[in-house]
C-alpha cells in the first residue's frame, strides 16, 4: 500500500490539492504546538507520540521539510520556525 500523498505538480488542479494539504498540515502543526504548550490532562505521552508521528508522516508524504518540532512532551515548536 502506497501512503504517498504527492500529487502531479504540472497540473493546476494537482497544485491546488497539494496547497490545500500543505495548509492542513500547517494547521495540524499549530494545533500540535498548542497541545504541547497547554495540553490538558488527557494529553498523554501516547497521544503526543501519535500526533508527532502523524505530522512527520504527512510532511514526508508531501515532500516537505521535516517539522521543526521538539519531540519531547511539553516542548512545542523550536525557536526559529
In a domain, 20, yes or no: yes
In a domain, 79, yes or no: no
Average pLDDT over residues 7-20: 75
**Highest-confidence segment of 5-9, 51-55, 75-79:** 51-55
In a domain, 29, yes or no: yes
In a domain, 46, yes or no: yes
Number of domains in the chain: 1
Q: What is the pLDDT of residue 40?
A: 87
pLDDT, one tens digit per residue, over 21-71 is 989 999 999 999 999 889 888 889 999 999 999 998 988 888 887 666 655
Cα angle, residue 38 at apex, residues 37 and 44 outer, rounded to 5° = 90
Burial class, 75, CB count within 10 angstroms (exposed 0-12 / middle 13-18 / buried 19+):
middle
pTM of the complete model: 0.63
In a domain, 80, yes or no: no
In a domain, 3, yes or no: yes
Sign for the CA dihedral angle at 46, 48, 51, 55 comes to negative
In a domain, 10, yes or no: yes
In a domain, 7, yes or no: yes
Q: What is the pLDDT of residue 60?
A: 87
Amino acid at each position: 500500500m502506497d501512503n504517498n500523498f504527492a500529487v502531479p505538480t504540472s497540473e493546476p488542479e494537482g497544485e491546488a490539492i497539494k496547497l490545500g494539504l500543505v495548509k492542513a498540515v500547517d494547521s495540524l502543526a499549530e494545533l500540535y504546538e498548542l497541545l504541547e504548550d497547554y495540553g490538558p490532562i488527557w494529553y498523554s505521552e501516547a497521544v503526543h507520540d501519535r500526533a508527532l508521528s502523524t505530522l512527520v508522516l504527512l510532511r514526508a508524504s508531501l515532500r516537505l521539510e521535516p517539522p521543526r518540532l521538539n519531540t519531547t512532551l511539553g516542548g512545542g515548536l523550536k525557536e526559529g520556525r
